[in-house]
Amino acid sequence: MNGVTVSQIAAALGVSVRAVQIKASPKRGNWTYTEEKVRGGRQRVYPVETLPADVREALAAASVHIESPAAQAGRVEAAKKKMADDQARNAALQSSGDGLARLATLTGKDRSRAEARLAILDALATFQRRSDRSATAAMHAFVGYYNDGAIDCADWIREHVSEVTASSLYNWRRKVREEGAARLSGNYGNRRGSGKIDSQREIREFAEAMVAEYPHLRPKALRRALTARFSDRSDIQLPGQSACERWLRRWKEQNKSLYLSIANPDAWNGKYRPAFGSASEDAVRINQRWELDSTPADLLLTDGRYHLVGCIDVFSRRVRLVVSKTSTATSVASVFRRAVLDWGVPESVKHDNGSDYRSTYIQRVWEFFDIEPLICDPYSGWQKPFIERIFGTFMRDLIEMAPGYCGHSVADRQAIEAQATFAKRLQDPDEVFDIRMNSEQLQEFCDRWISDIYEREVHSSLGCTPAEKAAGQRVRRVENERVLDVLLSQAPNGGVRTVGKKGIQVDGYEYIAAELADERVMGEPVQILLDEHDMGRVYCFADLGNGWEFLCIAECPEITGISRQAVAAEVRARNDRAVRDARNAMKRARKKHGTRDVVDDILDHARNNSDRVAHLPGRHDAAESAALTAASDAIAASDAKPEAPDTLDSEMREHKRAQIEAEEAEAARERSPKEQFRAWQEMVARTEPNDAERGDWRMYETSLTFRSRYELAYGEAFRGHGSGEPHEKDAIERPDEITPRREAK
């Protein structure tokens, strides 16, 4: 026990949950706790080692449960292995082992008294391990808890031991240690167990081992085995045939539970396995937990023997049964579908670990509906007791009177067949074994029995009928039945297909859809669900990065008659659109990032970030040749020519200025509309804009963009400039005060 909840502490202290919360609050005890996530929220968990001493002791007492020890003979072997190397205690161990084995030979009150005292000693040992006190102090505390009734134990134990004292516990321990558990009976005598088998420990152990190995052992076989094993031993007295018969009969009578657990474990589970608790105690709301199971029907039908696949809601005990040739994943889904339509969607389902319940299909169904699967351990039918019980109730009710009933066991089956054979010999047709019911009629019989009998009778553990228990409860429902048809329909081989160039294949047919040409699913697995109402259609689900989601409905052209050319044309159109959209996106990115200038950026980056190291020039000699000398003379003559007149220089400067102004005007036209209008305002605001500059802007002033921005800025239409009169300087700062001058006609 590492951590406990508030409710567990309250139960141990015998107080309310609110009282514990107040005691643990920061203002009072300030108990340390952690929070764990549970269904519906979070709960506080308190570490046991951090709780106050009185609380820990109360928890230790509450956690002790006294019950009758099972298979006591196992204690002997465990003790022998543990004490094998302790020579000083070999004699005590021998005596204890013999006494524990002789406990099985006791009967009546002697045996019950000894088992009750032995169970109390076991509970004391558990309490001492869990208590923080010393062994002596823990024993005295245990005495107080037991006498006050705080220790949970069966009624038959308190009938034999109503109160205990510390001295009695010491004496019981000493007797078990020195003389064996049988000594706890109080009146164990030497005459008991004095037969040749019980009085010889080696013979008795061999006989018990033979029963464990061969539960249906006969006395004659036991006598032969004893003779074969011990006939050459002079220290062994072999029992006779009658002694073996008496010992087997007495041993089976005195060890009914142990013998049944060996011979028939299923029968022992139903008859002797303790069931003091309640398997439905934690089911506090409707559809919180369902149990599912399958069993062969005790009927012979005209079309063979069938199985029953059942589902029960633990909270309300409502039941649904489906008749199926065998228990398969499809039949499990069928009964689940009927229950969901009638009751709603459950939170969890409990079933065994058979292949029909652990299949990929069924696990996928639980995942689709967000249901938690609870799987029982192998061969542990008692972990789903309610569906097991309803099968027994159904089989032992009207079904025993139904035509074709073949019995609940092999013995019943043989008796019924013998009765039919005898009736046939007497030529009594009314008594001949009758088979008139088929599987459909059996399904109708199950539905009528549930609706007309079972759901109308008061359930013993509910105190009302299952229908009354479920009335008024809030459930999660599937409104559209077609949704169930889709989610519960399965394609062969698990329903997984790989999308190929020709679509997907199901049962030899090709199913196509335009969505299957998506590059994200091409060549990838998709989940296929069949359409139960149209075999030419399948539902496709794909994992596109966010889990399984619906992709499309694929159709088979050979079945539905759709045109392959039309689907191919749609695929081409989809691909063209995808390529076009991708190229447009790339163009927008190219324009946004200006990738045309990236070469210049690379060169500038390399120049700005390169290490500039100045290298000294190396030694060299002037190259000489006749051609080089002649070229040098020509250059010297060219440099000696007179300079050009000043008029040429002035013309070149004017041409250069005009070229620069034209480039500036071109740059102005490449500005954004807002920047261009701003530049025009700056030109107008100058004191004396020259005619050349005004001429460059004449074309811009005739554009629609300029006139709309001018009207928006000054509140009136543009009518031109007056000749020679400059615009007011404050045109930019106060555009609403400007009255543009008219241009001279």
Q: What are the tens digits of pLDDT across the range 639-648?
A: 655 554 555 5
- More confidently predicted of 572 and 158: 158
Strand 372-375, strand 152-153: pairing: unpaired
- Cα separation, 374 vs 349, in Å, equals 6
Could you read off the pLDDT of 97-152 as tens digits, one per residue? 555 556 666 667 778 888 888 888 888 888 888 877 888 888 888 888 888 888 88
Residues in the chain: 745
Could you read off the pLDDT of 227-256 as tens digits, one per residue? 988 888 888 888 888 899 999 988 888 888
**What are the Cα distances from residue 506, in Å, to 495, 500, 537, 552, 562?**
9, 12, 10, 15, 17
Burial (CB count within 10 angstroms: exposed 0-12, middle 13-18, buried 19+), residue 351: buried
Once rounded to an integer, what is the mean pLDDT over residues 77-96? Answer: 47
Whether the Cβ atoms of residue 550 and residue 541 lie closer than 8 Å to each other: yes
Percentage with pLDDT > 70 across the chain: 70
**DSSP sequence for 38-98:** ETTEEEEEEEGGGS-HHHHHHHHHHH-EE-PPS-THHHHHHHHHHTTT-GGGHHHHHHHHH
Q: Which residues pair with 498 in a beta bridge?
A: 525
DSSP H helices, 528-624, are 557-560, 564-593, 598-609
Q: Model pTM greater than 0.85? A: no
- Catalogue the E-assigned strands of 445-547: 496-498, 504-506, 509-511, 525-530, 537-543
Residues 6+ apart with CB under 8 A from 160: 109, 112, 113, 116, 117
Once rounded to an integer, what is the mean pLDDT over residues 33-43? Answer: 80
Once rounded to an integer, what is the mean pLDDT over residues 182-199? Answer: 66
Longest dimension (CA), the chain: 156
H or E element: which one contains 10?
helix 6-13
- More confidently predicted of 309 and 150: 309
Q: Which residues pair with 295 in a beta bridge?
A: 308
Whether the Cβ atoms of residue 212 and residue 263 lie closer than 8 Å to each other: no
- More confidently predicted of 360 and 192: 360
For the chain, report the end-to-end CA distance as a whole number of angstroms.
107
Alpha-carbon dihedral of residues 418, 424, 429, 432, nearest 10 degrees?
Answer: 20
Phi, psi of 278 (to 5 degrees): -125, 120
> Assign residue 672 a region: left if phi > 0, alpha if psi is -120 to 50, beta otherwise?
beta
> Assign residue 528 a region: left if phi > 0, alpha if psi is -120 to 50, beta otherwise?
beta
Predicted pLDDT at 540:
85
- Cα separation, 619 vs 600, in Å, equals 35
Measured at the CA of 98, the angle between CA 136 and CA 114, to 5 degrees, comes to 55
The owner of tokens 């390169």 is 610
- More confidently predicted of 167 and 94: 167
What token pair was written down for 277? 């608790």
Measured at the CA of 664, the angle between CA 663 and CA 669, to 5 degrees, comes to 95
**DSSP sequence for 217-239:** --HHHHHHHHHHHHTT-TT----
Tell me the helices (H) and strands (E) count for the chain, helix number first.
30, 16
- Cα separation, 419 vs 407, in Å, equals 12
Phi, psi of 360 (to 5 degrees): -60, -35
Could you read off the pLDDT of 367-413 as tens digits, one per residue? 878 889 888 887 776 788 888 888 888 877 766 666 666 555 555 55
Q: Which residues pair with 66 in a beta bridge?
A: 153
Whether the Cβ atoms of residue 295 and residue 420 lie closer than 8 Å to each other: no
Predicted pLDDT at 474:
83
Predicted pLDDT at 349:
92
SS3 at position 505? strand
Residues 6+ apart with CB under 8 A from 44: 5, 6, 33, 34, 35
- Cα separation, 723 vs 477, in Å, equals 86
For residue 299, pLDDT over 50 is answered with yes
Residues 6+ apart with CB under 8 A from 355: none
Total Cβ atoms within 10 A of residue 220:
11
Phi, psi of 355 (to 5 degrees): -65, -30
Total Cβ atoms within 10 A of residue 391:
21
For residue 597, pLDDT over 70 is answered with no
For residue 504, pLDDT over 50 is answered with yes
Rounded to the nearest angstrom, the gap between the alpha carbon of residue 527 and the centroid of all alpha carbons in its chain is 19
What token pair was written down for 68? 């009758």
Rounded to the nearest angstrom, the gap between the alpha carbon of residue 469 and the centroid of all alpha carbons in its chain is 29
Supply the mean pLDDT for the chain: 75
